[in-house]
Amino acid sequence: MSIENILAGVAVEAVKELYGAQIDAAQVMPQATKKEFEGNLTIVVFPLLRASHKAPDVTATELGNYLVAHCDAVEKFNVIKGFLNITLKPTYWTSVLTRIATDDNYGFKPVTADSPLVMIEYSSPNTNKPLHLGHVRNNLLGYSLALIMAACGNRVVKTNIVNDRGIHICKSMLAWLKWGEGITPEKAGKKGDHLIGDFYVTFDVHYKQEVAQLMEQGLSKEEAERQSPLMQEAHDMLRRWEQGDEEVRSLWAMMNEWVYAGFDETYKRLGVSFDKIYYESQTYLEGKAKVLEGLEKGIFYRRDDGSVWADLTADGLDEKLLLRSDGTSVYMTQDIGTAKLRYEDYPIDSMIYVVGNEQNYHFQVLSLLLDKLGFKWGKDLIHFSYGMVELPNGKMKSREGTVVDADDLMDSMIETAREKSGEPGRLEGLTPAEREEVLRIIGLGALKYFILKVDPRKNMLFNPEESIDFAGNTGSFIQYTYARIRSILRKSCDDLSACQNLECHAPSEKETALIQRVADFATVVAEAGRTYSPALIANYAYDLAKQFNQFYHDCSILREEDDTCRQFRLLLSRTVAVTLRRAVGLLGMEMPERM
């Protein structure tokens, strides 16, 4: 049990004994004491005044005296108005360090067969283009969230829904037929997703030319777009696909396989993975069937033109189209079908969709529809809504070929790491292969940290140049701190597995503060899981690294002459390194042993 819970429990007893009142432990849960005040933990007593009928400082003093008398960990206290600042005994912090140092899973809750099953959907790419910077944020958020939820004691299933059908896919297919001349990824020397993305751009170029020519003939822009022969061919290809045309389906399968191979390379390099992948081409028919079932049960209704709708006005929303008049499905229908298949595959307790905030309304509607259709988790589905990634030079446009490609981005991050690591002595003593591996870890770590340290709900501006800085709030700074500690431990001759008499060492104020910050890890992980925020983990890791560097500056470690003190500080340093590695591991980051 954490010291916060212990103190809250004793405080509850104190209020009952001193004032004859029963309170909830949450009312007296301690928080970290502000740096400008003496103490380790603070209890705010204002909620207790109704029970004590006394002034805030008197109530705080009486509670403080009770804690000193009834809790062995408490050494002393001070009162500032209604704030009870508690100082814990140095020996308590030594025991905390020893406990954490010997716990291989500190901060992580065990996962059992009875743990809740959480399914997390992320990535959701289209098979007409490669993954881009927006996908990078989505994948990193989804994968980190999956790691955090598992660390909080949940069984987790990571899923991906691939958008492998629709007019956008047919655009790339038609462009390849018209201008591809039989090119393949092997002949082009390109990843398949990149090659297909090129043809998506090619379609748009020719389409715009057609529209411009038609407008010159006197048509309005809307008329020109509608009468474009190229667009009409694309829609015809889509109809043939939906009718199961063998030739179109064969081309579609071949080109999609090229894209999947490219996606797999990018996912592997980015360090994300999935337990189950679903495809819209397999789910949209399931969705149509489920909508028709809802129609029969009176959940939905059919209009005169044959289209099927859900009336959600009683729920404060509007009416939602589910099947067009020609019987074709919309995205909502496909999501219903995907949900049906997932529910059949897994006994889901909770479903989290990692999708940008432009889809907020979509998931409000989906939640209501799934609930009406009988999915037990439907009403409580979680839309992990995140902001967009913006660039210094504006927004990305896939069809114009102005996206920041995920593969190119990772290449550039590694090159930036190479430039920033070029200082004399920084990577000396490493073989060329070892140097390349360290640069990869630094570059991708910088990318992941820069994206995940931002509150996911906010839009963010991505600037690669700012993401690698060995002295700022960056992944590189955290990695450098870890490598520094590993270097200290390699230089040490002490056998930390045989540390003895550490309880004789009374930690200094700096040591105590660092131990307390290490101990906070378990609380931070739990809070990150509760609020679905990898940013809490990222910023905790930065704060811990920064605090260790201040400790390293102020306190001698290897040159400390007192054996017990030196071993204590080495054990503390090693525990900080392990905690840093665990923390950034929840962000999908790796740590270099040398840097």
- What single letter denotes the amino acid at residue 29? M
The average pLDDT across 510-539 equals: 96
For 385-405, the pLDDT digits (tens) are 999 887 766 544 444 445 788
pLDDT of 68 over the 80 cut: yes
Closest CA to 525 of 124, 29, 2, 48: 2
Cβ contact 452:535 at 8 Å: yes
Burial (Cβ within 10 Å: 0-12, 13-18, ≥19) of residue 584: buried
Angle between helices 280-296 and 331-345 (to 10 degrees): 100
279-404 CATH: 3.40.50.620
The band of 518, judged by pLDDT with boundaries at 50, 70 and 90, is: very high
Domain 3-88 has CATH 3.30.1360.70: yes
**The pLDDT of residue 179 is above 90:** yes
Question: Is 90 within 8 Å of 512 (Cβ atoms)?
Answer: yes
Percent pLDDT > 70 in the chain is 96
> Considering the chain, what percentage of its residues have pLDDT values greater than 90?
82
Q: Which residues contact 412 (CB under 8 A, 6 or more apart)?
A: 464
pLDDT, averaged across the chain: 92
Q: Where do the structural domains in the chain lie, given as residue ranges? A: 3-88, 165-274, 279-404, 406-585
Q: Taking residues 454-481, what's their average pLDDT?
A: 87
Confidence of residue 154 (pLDDT cuts 50, 70, 90): very high
pLDDT score at 397: 46
pLDDT digits (tens, 9 = 90+) for 119-146: 999 999 999 999 999 999 999 999 999 9
Structure confidence by residue, pLDDT tens digits, 14-32? 999 999 999 999 999 999 8
- pLDDT tens, position by position, 89-105: 988 999 999 999 999 99
For residue 498, name the pLDDT band (cuts at 50, 70, 90).
low
Cβ count within 10 A of residue 320: 19
Q: Which of 54-58, 184-188, 326-330, 588-592 has the lowest mean pLDDT?
A: 326-330
Total-model pTM? 0.90
d(CA 496, CA 105): 19
List pLDDT tens digits, range 218-274.
999 999 999 999 999 999 999 999 899 999 999 999 999 999 999 999 999 999 999
Q: Which of 44-58, 277-291, 367-381, 457-471 has the lowest mean pLDDT?
A: 457-471
Average pLDDT over residues 308-324: 95
pLDDT for res 502: 75
In whole angstroms, how far apart are CA 368 and each of 23, 299, 310, 332, 378? 38, 11, 10, 12, 7
| Amino acid residing at 372 | K
Q: For position 425, what pLDDT does the model report? A: 60
In this structure, which CATH number among 3.10.100.10, 1.10.730.10, 1.10.1740.10, 3.20.20.70 belongs to the domain 406-585?
1.10.730.10
Two tokens, residue 110: 């065990």
Nearest Cα neighbor of 203 from 226, 169, 227 is 169
Tokens, residue 589? 């980051």
